[in-house]
Amino acid sequence: MKIEGVTIEDTFAEAFTMRVARLIITGRNAKWAREAAVKLTGFATSVIGCKCEAGIERELTGDETPDGRPGVSVLFLTLDKESLPEQLIVRIGQTVLTCPTTACFDGLTLAPDRLAVGKALRVFGDGFQASKVIGGKRYWRLPVMEGEFLVEETFGMQKGVGGGNFLILAENADAALAAAEAAVVAMTNLPGVILPFPGGVVRSGSKVGSKRYKNMIATTNDPFDPTLRAITASQVPVGVNSVLEIVLDGTDAPAIEAAMRVGIRAACRPGVVAITAGNYGGKLGPHHFHLRKILA
């Protein structure tokens, strides 16, 4: 299979089941909602080192938010049920609660599992907090110096997908970066998907474990490192001198597939030799995203 002269390898991306929550952060204007969202999702690229993965899903208009103000939708993922509320309580308390004019609402209202995030945060009010039930949902009002912080008592949690990916194999670094940037633009604001790494792009792709250091969970993906082509079992084709990876997390497999479809097509640009994907032989993750099937 070729798209715009770029070979689409006959392989699949291997992804994992995670737990996901969606937060709706609103502010007096879009600037402050985004400020809180950016801080909230900081240092949340990979569970390997960050213990969580998070990113901005899309910006919201007042017609799409519970309080009629501009907002930002954020997806937040962890590997297990216990870690998700722990991370949300700490991060919302340190980033959204502290940010001027913001409020925080649940974005997975139909999810059966409920996390008592707002209930835990209410104690910051030191007894001065108040609650109100509206439409069957409880909200907490926490007094702050600026006014008050409004937060929903519980947030929904459901199974999500982490680690969808594709690799861009290019002739040089400029071509690889241009293709990655085009892919990110195409996937930005799609529902149910985030790109957790800086600018949506990963240069330090990893493999499981280490050949030399027993305590390492993950180390450099040497088969796809062009600089190591002569001294490792390289999978880098001749003519490829730069590789970049796009990693996707999402609420479900169809959302990941839809984003990969438009992202890969956008990445098929001049200077790109091939598109492939990272997997571990299908042994570690239950979600397999076959590139040619997605693009067919």
- The answer on 26 and 138 residing in a single domain is yes
- The answer on 145 and 51 residing in a single domain is yes
pLDDT for 254 equals 98
Residues of the chain with pLDDT under 70: none
- The answer on 286 and 171 residing in a single domain is yes
- The answer on 272 and 195 residing in a single domain is yes
Dist CA 258 CA 16 (whole Å): 17
Domain boundary among 114, 132, 158: 158
Which residues make beta-bridge pairs with 59?
72
Q: What CATH number did the domain enclosing 93 receive?
A: 3.30.70.520
- The answer on 237 and 106 residing in a single domain is no
pTM (two decimals): 0.94
Domain boundary among 158, 173, 203: 158
pLDDT for 52 equals 97
For the chain, how many structural domains are there in total? 2
pLDDT for 282 equals 86
pLDDT for 284 equals 81
- The answer on 248 and 289 residing in a single domain is yes
Structural domain harbouring 222: 2-14+160-295
pLDDT for 131 equals 97
- The answer on 210 and 83 residing in a single domain is no
Q: pLDDT digits over 206-225, tens only?
A: 998 999 999 999 999 999 99
